[in-house]
Amino acid sequence: MRSFRDLSIGPRRWPAALALALTLPLAGCATESGGRESGRPDSAPSASSTSPPGATASAAPEVVPGRLRADGHTRRYLLHRPAADGPRPLVIAFHGRGADAAEMREKSRLEKAAGARGMLVAYPEGLDNGWGAGRQASERRPDPDLDVRFTEALIKHLVRTERADPERVYVAGFSNGGSMALRMAAERPGLLAGAASVSGQLPAGAAAVEPTGPVPVMVVYGADDPVRPLAGWPSPPPDPEEPILPSLSARDSAEAFAAAGGAGEPVTEEEKGYDRTVWRLKEAAPEASDAPDASDPSGDGREATVQLLVVEDAGHTWPGSSITPPKGFGPTSKALNATDTILDFFATG
Q: Which residues of 81-107 are buried (b: 16+ CB within 10 A; e: fewer)?
A: bbebbebbbbbbbbbbbbbbbbbbbbb
Specify the pTM: 0.81
Residue 329 is given by DSSP the state S
Q: Where are the domains of the chain?
A: 16-233+244-348
Amino acid 181: pLDDT:
98
pLDDT by residue, tens only, the chain of 349 residues: 333 333 333 334 334 333 333 333 333 344 343 332 223 333 333 333 333 333 333 444 489 999 999 999 999 999 999 987 789 999 999 999 999 999 999 999 999 899 889 999 999 999 999 999 999 999 899 999 999 999 999 999 999 999 999 999 999 999 999 999 999 999 999 999 999 999 999 999 999 999 999 999 999 999 999 999 999 999 998 887 788 999 999 999 999 999 999 999 999 999 999 999 999 998 644 433 344 444 444 444 468 999 999 999 999 999 999 999 999 999 999 999 999 999 999 998 6
Superfamily of domain 16-233+244-348: Alpha/Beta hydrolase fold, catalytic domain (3.40.50.1820)
Sheet holding 305-311, edge to edge: 28-31, 63-70, 73-80, 120-124, 88-94, 164-174, 194-198, 217-222, 305-311, 274-280, 267-271
Amino acid 243: pLDDT:
86
Amino acid 242: pLDDT:
85
- DSSP letters, 131-178, are ---SS---SS-S-TTHHHHHHHHHHHHHHHHH-EEEEEEEEEEETHHH
